A = this chain, B = another copy of it.
Amino acid sequence: MAVNSPLPVAADLKPVGGLDIGYAQAGIKKPGRKDVLVMKLAESATVAGVFTKNRFCAAPVQVSKANLAAVANGGKPIRALVVNTGNANAGTGEPGLANANATCAALAKLLGCDAQQILPFSTGVILEPLPVDKLVAGLPDAIANLKADNWYNAAEAIMTTDTQPKAASRTVDICGHSVTMTGISKGAGMIKPNMATMLGYLAIDAKVSQEVLNELVKHAADHSFNCITIDGDTSTNDSFMLIATGTGSLAIANAAGTEYEELKAAVTDIARNLAQQIIRDGEGATKFITITVEEGDTVEECRKIAYSIAHSPLVKTAFFASDPNLGRILAAIGYAGVDDLDVTKLDMYLDDVLVAKNGGRNPAYQEQDGQRVMRQSEITVRVKLGRGANTATVWTCDLSHDYVTINADYRS
């Protein structure tokens, strides 16, 4: 199903020193599937993350943010992350918070640390009580199979409507230091990315100070996961966590210099790969669409227009149908909310085909050229606004029958 996205190969997912992974089948929603993941960290590890801005942010998100804040205020370091699928523990009020904290307490007891040193994450149905007893009962199993070489199982354990696990792994050379980086992601509701629960976990074996890691995760997210999610509008549970285990030879204490810049580029690149895998496996996706808006007055207006195109159901169904009904793209540009946009300066390309010129149909445009591009499984829409020097890119997928089927049947 996923668009041009080969299955990850377990042997390619390199262990990251200082991080062990365990999983369990706790039967949270259904029996017989991995639904609990534990990631245990070395004491040298630092952790930073970005979270959903949804006002109904889930109980585990609230607890994870609080526990990370405690570290920033001089508390003990994070020692483990725990993820469950099958229930989002969102819209669950005070009992939901109590359940998230109880999960941390139970895992902390098993690992011999404080509850505040655990970060909990959940994904699944909203507004239903978390079956915390089942989750807690599954933790000893997860602890029992903790090992460094468990990334493929980790990728599987966080899947919901994903059709395949998502993972990436690399060893890069940063100024003579070998750095191993391995990550996983999930989240398939991609017709409007802001409505999917997106989870991403990326571990690197460099030693990175908390302050630098905070900057690094924000930069990486802004150029990867935040390019598949509408500005600040996210699901109740979205989280992207960056873990620096500190067991490798590279150590970075300042957000400047060649080592930092090279690490930033490498981390951002693998994060982008993980984010794009989510789009390629979008619910019902048959096409991978890149939307680039250039020559904007600001990056923000470029993003507005790119998202407006990316979110239009009419545009997305046209991609699904391979129908070069490209006026729908112009309509989406027009209602993006850039009020002083002068469309007579606007050009629009589909891959290499100039479709619209100065806001109208390019006289040389032939429908057969648009048709040729629309039949591809990977398509780039390029809009030139003719009013500045800024650019933004977002990635999205088409809207197919299977999207409706998946989301109409998700709970049954």
Contacts and interface: CB of A to CB of B under 8 A. Distances in A.
Interface residues of A, number: 75
A246 B412 CA distance: 58
Contacts of A332: 195, 233
A311 B332 CA distance: 15
A343 interface: yes
A380 interface: no
A146 interface: no
B55 A341 contact: yes
Interface stretch (A20-28, A31-39, A402-410): A402-410
Contacts of A127: 326-327, 330, 355-356, 361
A400 B194 CA distance: 20
A272 interface: no
Nearest to A340: B55
A388 interface: no
Given A127-B356, A408-B318, A361 B92 contact: yes
A6 interface: no
A235 interface: yes
A113 interface: no
Contact of A128 (B56, B95, B361, B410): B361
A232 interface: yes
Contact of A126 (B191, B231, B331, B337): B331
A93 B335 contact: no
A356 to B, nearest CB: 6
B335 A53 contact: yes
Copies in the complex: 2
A151 B53 CA distance: 50
A216 interface: no
Nearest to A365: B127
A29 interface: no
Given A327-B91, A361-B128, A407 B233 contact: no
Contacts of A338: 55
Interface in A227-242: 230-236
A310 to B, nearest CB: 12
A337 B54 CA distance: 8
Given A195-B312, A236-B331, A314-B189, A343 B408 contact: no
Nearest to A96: B360
Given A233-B332, A408-B320, A90 B403 contact: no
A56 B334 contact: yes
Given A313-B399, A401-B404, 14 more contacts: A54-B331, A55-B339, A91-B356, A93-B359, A93-B360, A95-B360, A126-B330, A128-B361, A189-B314, A233-B313, A236-B330, A317-B404, A318-B408, A320-B408
14 contacts: A55-B336, A56-B343, A90-B330, A95-B360, A126-B327, A126-B331, A190-B314, A190-B331, A192-B314, A195-B314, A233-B312, A234-B335, A323-B410, A325-B411
